[in-house]
Structure 1
Amino acid sequence: MKSTNSKNIFEIRYVKLAFDSVSIYRNLLEDEVIKNLRNLISYIDMEKINIGYTANMYNDFFFKLVNSGYCSLQEYIMDKVIFNENPFSMKAENKELKKKNDVIKEAAKNDLRNLCCIAKLTSTDVKESVLKYISDSKLKHVVERLPEWKTELDFQGINSPGYVRDIKEKIYNSGSWDECVDDIQDFHNHYGCGIFARYRAFMWEHIEGKGCFKGIENPDPIDLSDLIGYEREHQIVIENTLQFLNGFFANNVLLHGDRGTGKSSTVKAILNKYYTQGLRMIELPKSYLVDFPNIIRKLKNRPEKFIIFIDDLVFGDDEESYTALKSILEGGLENKSSNIIIYATSNRRHLVKEYFNERMMSSYSGSEGEVHEGDSVQEKLSLADRFGINVVFVSPDKNKYLQIVDGIAERRKLNIDKDTLHREALKWELWYNGRSARTARQFVDWIEGHNIIEKNNIN
């Protein structure tokens, strides 16, 4: 077994020291991929290694890297840096950092320098460090054939919002990452840190009995311009959202009305329009409304603005979540936060189911039933009124339905005679789901595909 030359010892020890010197970003050392790489480097630095054990450690690291969706170590660590929650990123998010002479910022600069050194480590660097210990040519050949990770990044192929690609490109093209500390600070200042910088849309779900935010990688890309025929309704929601984003009083909003009219799509499109201004959205299933106080505690000190989105809202008369929503809308001691509002959709104006026998009981003085049954009926009917703004979406008449069809067809640049388009659109709404914006879109989907098939004589 041969000892390593002095240059190689210095390089490996330098990378190991870079790991050991991380302070502000220290929680990254517990990341599974980075932890495996650190263990591998530490083992090689011991200078007396078992080649089989080393190969196993190398492949464990490589597997965890590619299994996490990355083929580039540099991109992986860069992403972890950009979206990490630490004293530097959280203070930057809350605009509490000075541009210069800040102790935390200086420590972050040192970390960025060290993390840059680690991220630029190549497969060849690691293999050459191992090969110095091996004299057997066959064993050398095995090490040389170990898999390699990428060193170059294709920014066009990165599936991230434009502002994320921009900061990645700045970091990647810098001589050393500490040169970008002001850019990273500005990024957190504008877009936040942690999962609220990485994602704009979330689901609230339960894992092992605990509620948590799950980021949505590819949220619905719907744009308000795609939703034709409901501009007045959209404007009401837009104005309320802008008040909210600008720090003024804003209302909880209930979007209700006929099915297929674009209520849910409107809310999603609002997020896509304003997420670069700090808007985030959390979809909260009705069954988890009782978790709202917990959600408040997690969000109330964040600088971002949050829409809690409750889709397709309707209650049975004995559901616990009905009482929870009523409490939320009325405002309890902990249910008030200036950075949170609720947008809900429903096909019903009255959100709690009411039965005819309840109204009959309220006028009947028998011994069964509630004494003040009329009060309960009114309470059920008034739940929707607790939303500050009610926006009604109604099914289009014939002319409006055809206008929506025309608008969608025009946006897709379909070259179809208008008379034919209208004739087929009217047939479609008779055969299928009646007139609605959803039916119009489904029809255009069909006729677009149908024309392509006919044009290309596809059987």
Structure 2
Amino acid sequence: MENDVKKLVARIESLVLFRDLLKDEVVGRFIRLLETVCGENRDCREFVRSYSDFFHSLVAQNMAQGLSGNCSFGDYLTHAVLYRETPVSLMAGQNHAAQMPGWLTGMLAGELNVLGEMAATTSRGIKTEWLRNCNREADIVSELPEWSAEPINYRFFEAGKPWGDSSDRLLDFYNQCGSGIFARYNGFVWERSGEQGVLRGVDDPDPVRLSDFIGYELQRKEIVENTLRFIRGYPANNLLLYGDRGTGKSSTVKALLNEYHSLGLRLIEVPKDLLSDFNHILRMIRNRPQKFIIFIDDLSFSDGESSYTAMKAVLEGSLENRPANVLVYATTNRRHLVKERFSERAGLMSDDPNDEIHAADTIEEKLSLADRFGMTITFTAPDQESYLRIVEGLAQQRGLTVDRDFLRKKAIQWEMMYNGRSPRTATQFINWLEGYLKTQEET
């Protein structure tokens, strides 16, 4: 087996398409372990150290990837193949498997076979080979923990077959799901790490679905139709969702992701104060096969705020054109997105030489920002009957059995005592009611 181990190390070092894996901590420690097994220096302490270092990093990285308690090397390598960005994954995102160059698909199959061999290398086999050449401190070596060779969570590659047999299937995966972070996650948040902006994938997005909402059917119909046109590659508009607080504007945008991510939709939430990074975000997602909605929540600007200029560039475009796979959806509680002062209107008829001559132009520019969105969808607070209809619908969704008159009376009392009439208030009331009823059942 020693020659087989040396040959595997050489084949790993020959990787081209997946060459970045050689810089990976887990793979690097695996290679070090193999080199220890077939090396001339038979130091048991060095073997135990290399073995334990690899095992520790494997478990730690699997936990970091959400594979809690998993010590499968097959899972780790499968995750790397599916979700690391490589030249072949980027190319396959733009081309079907049949359009890929023959030399590249052949190389892909060969390198997948190498990774499959790595995954199939068992901890028991490594310990046996070490003890065959050096049986000193055999009790320590035999008691070392063992990892799993087969994938546990990922069943992408067929068991018992070379991984290279699934190369066409992998190319189809890249073409349909994209590559790298955009294949692994559906929702993202743009953040600052020091002076640099980074795209963070959301592990646990809000699970809200369109079917969860009650009321505002016409508004959501417009939003859904615009989104589906965008996903299908047809012309679509940027959207401004305007209205009273608690009416479900932000939740509606989040629900779109849960409904249509399988069609290639992705959502990137960008804080208002980071809008100056917009062009950098565009460069990251330009020419990707997915469709991206840039989501800006609670949009409004103070006078002279720098992000106002950035928002205008986002909507109108700058020298660097916004790609066809990007739309902007924003929510706001303000009809006029930029705060306006009475002193500015006074400037229209002012004798003060320090006032702006063309004050009307400044006012008009501030009022026109909302008009730069293609469509404005309005969510107003419900009247009492609409509010009660939402309450009754939510109670039915939760399976709450309660007298209708009691339900309506308590719902009215709740909105008067707390946050006024809105779908959010209705949900908060139902949360209280469900807890109240369950407490009553216990007593």
Q: TM-score band, normalised by the shorter chain?
A: over 0.9
The CA distance in 1 between the partners of 2:199 and 2:370, in whole Å, is: 27
Q: Distance in 2 between matches of 1:174 and 1:402?
A: 59
Structure 2 Cα separation of the partners of residues 59 and 417 of structure 1: 63
Q: Which amino acid aligns with 1:450?
A: Y
1:46 equivalenced with 2:39 (yes/no)? yes
**Corresponding residue for 1:436?**
422
Residues 18, 115 of structure 1: 8 Å contact kept? no
Separation of aligned partners in 2, 1:126 and 1:154: 21
Distance 1:119 1:154, change over 3 A: closer
TM-score by length of 1: 0.91
In 1, Cα distance between equivalents of 2:372 and 2:29: 53
Amino acid at match of 1:309: F
Counterpart residue number, 1:58: 51
1:144 to 138, 142, 145: 142
Please tell me whether residue 119 in structure 1 is matched to residue 112 in structure 2.
Answer: no
Q: What does residue 243 of structure 2 align with? A: 257
Q: Quick one: structure 1 residues 125 and 362, their matched pair in 2 at CA, closer, same or farther if it must change by over 3 Å?
A: farther
Q: Partner letter of residue 37 of structure 1?
A: F
Distance 2:194 2:212 in 1: 39
Displacement of 1:378: 1.2
SS at match of 2:98: coil
Do the aligned partners of 1:328 and 1:335 also contact (CA within 8 Å) in 2?
no
Q: Which amino acid aligns with 1:180?
A: S
How far apart, CA to CA, are the structure 2 residues paired with 1:154 and 1:415? 43
1:16 paired to 2:9: yes
- Give the Cα–Cα distance (whole angstroms) in 2 for the partners of residues 169 and 296 of structure 1: 34
Q: Assess if the C-alpha contact under 8 Å between 2:119 and 2:150 holds in 1.
A: no
Against the structure 1 CA distance between its residues 178 and 373, is the aligned structure 2 distance closer, same or farther, given a 3 Å change threshold? same
Q: CA deviation at 1:242?
A: 1.1
In structure 2, the CA distance between the partners of 1:122 and 1:408, relative to structure 1 (3 Å rule), is: farther
CA gap of 1:364–1:388, structure 2 versus 1, over 3 A, is: same
Looking at structure 1, the residues matched to 407 and 152 of structure 2 have their Cα atoms a distance apart, in angstroms, of 43
Q: Which moved more, 1:64-73 or 1:77-86?
A: 64-73
Structure 2: distance between partners of 1:456 and 1:141 = 56
For 1:447, give the aligned amino acid: L
Give the secondary structure class of the aligned counterpart of 2:378. Answer: strand
Deviates more, 1:422-431 or 1:272-281: 422-431
SS at match of 1:203: strand
In structure 1, the partner of 2:391 is 405
Deviation per residue, 1:276-298 (Å, 9 max, x gap): 11111111111111111111122
- Cα contact 2:96–2:171 (8 A) shared by 1: no
1:301 aligns with 2:287: yes
Give the aligned residue type for 1:340. Answer: V
Alignment of structure 1 residues 406-421 onto 2, 5 Å: 406-421=392-407
Give the deviation of 1:99 after TM superposition: 6.5
The one-letter code of the counterpart of 1:44 is V
Structure 2 counterpart of 1:208, from 166, 170, 194? 194
Which secondary structure does the structure 2 equivalent of 1:274 belong to? helix
Paired with 2:155 and 2:170, the residues of 1 have a C-alpha distance of: 12
What's the CA shift string for 1:351-382, capped at 9, x where partnerless? Answer: 11112222122222211221211211111111
Paired position in structure 2 for 1:73 = 73
Question: Does residue 339 of the first structure (1) align with residue 332 of the second (2)?
Answer: no
**1:91, 1:97 within 8 Å by CA — same for their partners in 2?**
no
1:295 match: secondary structure = helix
In the alignment, structure 2 segments of 5+ residues that lack a partner are none
Per-residue deviation at 1:396?
1.0
Structure 1 residue 372 corresponds to structure 2 residue 372: no
SS at match of 2:155: helix
Distance 1:170-1:153 versus aligned 2 partners, 3 A rule: closer
In 2, Cα distance between equivalents of 1:345 and 1:281: 14
* Native 8 Å contact 2:181 2:201 kept in 1: yes
* Paired amino acid for 2:308: Y
401 and 173 in structure 1: CA distance in 2 versus 1, 3 angstrom threshold: farther
Structure 1 pair 448/174, CA: closer, same or farther in 2 (3 Å)? Answer: farther
| Aligned residue type for 1:341 | L
Which residue of structure 2 lines up, in the alignment, with residue 270 of structure 1? 256
Match of 2:306 in 1: 320
CA distance in 1, matches of 2:193, 2:34: 34
Alignment partners' CA distance in 1, 2:212 and 2:32? 51
**Residue 154 (structure 1) shift:** 4.9
Shift of 1:416: 2.1
| Equivalent-residue separation in structure 2 for 1:411 and 1:451 (angstroms) | 15
Cα distance in structure 1, aligned partners of 2:442 and 2:131: 58
Tell me, in whole angstroms, the C-alpha distance in 1 between the residues paired with 2:165 and 2:174: 16
Residues 1:353 and 2:346 are matched in the alignment: no
1:393-436: CA deviation from partner (whole Å, max 9, x where unpaired): 11111111111111122122222222222222122112211111
Normalized against structure 2, the TM-score is what? 0.94
> How far apart, in 1, do the equivalents of 2:385 and 2:398 lie?
20
The code of the aligned residue for 1:21 comes to S
Q: In the alignment, does 2:12 pair up with 1:26? A: no
SS of 2:33's equivalent in the other structure is helix
- Distance in 2, matches of 1:415 and 1:99, equals 59
Q: Which amino acid aligns with 1:431?
A: M
Deviations 1:123-164 (A, max 9, x none): 22222233234333xx22222222222345554xxxxxxxxx
Distance apart, 1:331 and its partner CA: 1.7
The reply to whether residue 89 of structure 1 matches residue 85 of structure 2 is no
CA–CA distance in structure 1, aligned partners of residues 152 and 76 of structure 2: 13
**Matches of 1:428 and 1:42, distance apart in 2:** 70
Q: Are the aligned partners of 1:12 and 1:129 in contact in 2 as well (CA < 8 Å)?
A: no
Q: How many residues align?
A: 436
Q: Which moved more, 1:382-391 or 1:430-439?
A: 430-439
Whole-Å Cα distance in 1 between the matches of residues 6 and 84 of structure 2? 26
Contact 1:296 1:335 in 2 (8 A): no
